[in-house]
Amino acid sequence: MEKTSTDAFPSTIYSSEKQETVCIFGTGDFGRSLAFKMLQCNYSIVFGSRNPQKSSLLPHGAEIFSYSEAAQKSDIIIIAVHREHYDFLKELTEVFKGKILVDISNNLKINQYPESNAEYLAHLVPGAHIVKAFNTISAWALQSGTLDANRQATAKTQDLFSTSTAWLSDSYVALGILGFFLFVLLGITSLPSVSNMVNWREFRFVQSKLGYLTLILCTAHTLVYGGKRFLSPASLIWYLPSAYVIALIIPCTVLVIKFILILPCIDKTLTRIRQGWERNSKPTSDGQYLKQSSIHLDSQL
């Protein structure tokens, strides 16, 4: 028996419980890579080789024996040799009885042989249990892990369903639908065939009250779309604002002016002006205002 090992592959133990012993026939790239990963899982590994004294670069902690000696130390034997070299397995038929043989080989061509490698192995060793496994994993993938051939997405600690994000998304869609519906309604009422069928009070309500409501909904729709990116320096390209920011200038200006005009102190004065009020005028019995010149003429009559 020869124990040859190397620290080329640092062994990191992922499991604290000692697992059973696994035998690997073959000390090639795949056999060594598979042994390295199994050692990390705290399995005991023994190699079977036709030349145990000449084998090198084995993972730290693995032992190497001849085929017959290695097969006697484990009930699970992984065959990591090519099909062309399966002939030596006939000599170990008695040792393989009741044991599990794992075939990891792949042929170079499709339909290269009349039967699969696992079927051929079962024919050579009829007393063993044949299992096909590990034939879709490369030795490079086993050595590199998740950093190269086997790539894994970075796990995010935050919840995929964010309440604030979902609320903004639903609000964005709802405001857009309502704003578009009212915008279409305004367009329909502006048609001459429709506007002639409503009175002035109804037409003024649609064009004024619903018009401002539509403007508010559409502006809010755009503001929600920007969200946290609104006026954020990180979203500026060449220090220029985004298109949706520029599009908000006019509607926001109109809404700010409208908000100022509906303040009670200003709205009351504007309402009196619409009713005919002028400076130094007196109200009539019905609440309207007459000019001072008109009152003076009536007194003379």
**Does residue 287 lie within any of the structural domains?**
no
> What is residue 296's predicted lDDT score, i.e. its pLDDT?
43
Same structural domain for residues 33 and 141? yes
Greatest C-alpha distance within the chain:
141
Are 271 and 177 found together in one domain?
Answer: yes
- Domains in the chain: how many in total? 2
Q: How many residues does the chain have?
A: 301
Residues 6+ apart with CB under 8 A from 10: none
Distance CA 140, CA 33 (A): 8
* Same domain flag for 48 and 133: yes
Domain assignment present for 28: yes
The pLDDT score that the predictor gives to residue 46 is: 93
Instruction: Count Cβ atoms below 10 Å from residue 102 Cβ, excluding itself.
Output: 23
Considering the domain boundaries, does residue 193 fall inside one? yes
pLDDT for residue 286 is more than 50: yes
Residue type, 248: L
Tokens 């519906």 label which residue?
181
Same domain, 138 and 30: yes
Same domain? For 138 and 176 the reply is: no
Task: Return the structure tokens found at 170.
Answer: 């639903």
- Given pLDDT bands bounded at 50, 70 and 90, which one contains residue 12? very low
Lowest mean pLDDT among 13-17, 60-64, 115-119: 13-17
Q: So what's the pLDDT on residue 140?
A: 79
Cβ(97)–Cβ(128) below 8 Å: yes
- The predicted-structure confidence for 31-67, as pLDDT tens digits, reads as follows 888 888 888 888 899 999 888 887 777 888 888 999 8
Q: How confident is the model at residue 185, as a pLDDT?
A: 87
Comparing 41-45, 71-75, 118-122, 293-297, which segment has the lowest mean pLDDT?
A: 293-297
Count of alpha carbons within 13 angstroms of residue 290, beta-carbon side: 10
Give the Cβ contact number of residue 207 at 10 Å.
Answer: 14
Residues 172 and 70 in one domain: no
Portion of the chain with pLDDT greater than 70, in percent:
75
CB 13 within 8 A of CB 40: yes
Q: Please give the Cα distance from 81 to 216 (Å, whole number).
A: 74
CA atoms within 13 A on the CB side of 52: 18
Among 103, 52, 116, 40, which residue's Cα sits nearest to residue 76?
103
Residue 101 falls within a domain, yes or no?
yes
Q: Report d(CA 165, CA 226) in Å as an integer.
A: 12
Shared domain for 136 and 199, answered yes or no, is: no
Judge whether 235 lies within some domain: yes
User: Under the phi-then-psi rule, with left for phi > 0, alpha for psi from -120 to 50, and beta for the rest, what region is 49?
Assistant: beta
Are 28 and 143 in the same domain?
A: yes
Residue 125: Cβ within 10 Å count: 22
Evaluate whether residue 8 is within a structural domain: no
| Residue 196, domain member (yes or no) | yes
- At 200, the pLDDT band (50, 70, 90 cuts) reads confident
Q: Is the pLDDT of residue 170 over 80?
A: yes
Mean pLDDT of the chain: 78
DSSP letter (8 states) at residue 39: H
Which CATH number do you get for residue 52? 3.40.50.720
Q: How many CA atoms lie within 13 A of 264 on its CB side?
A: 0
Give the pLDDT confidence of 223-244 residue by residue, as tens digits: 887 766 666 666 666 767 777 7
**What is the C-alpha separation between 15 and 6, in angstroms, rounded?**
21
pLDDT at 149 over 90: no
* pLDDT given for residue 164 in this prediction: 62
Residue 7: predicted pLDDT: 45
Together in a domain, 131 and 246? no
Whether 55 and 141 share a structural domain: yes
10 located within any domain: no
Q: Which domain holds residue 27?
A: 21-147
106 and 141 together in one domain:
yes
d(CA 271, CA 106): 90
Together in a domain, 27 and 143: yes
Q: Are 59 and 11 in contact (CB under 8 A)?
A: yes
Report the candidate in 72, 60, 45 with the shortest Cα–Cα distance to residue 4.
60
Residue 33 burial by Cβ neighbours in a 10 Å radius (0-12, 13-18, 19+): buried
- Residue 224 amino acid letter: V
Mean pLDDT of 213-232: 80
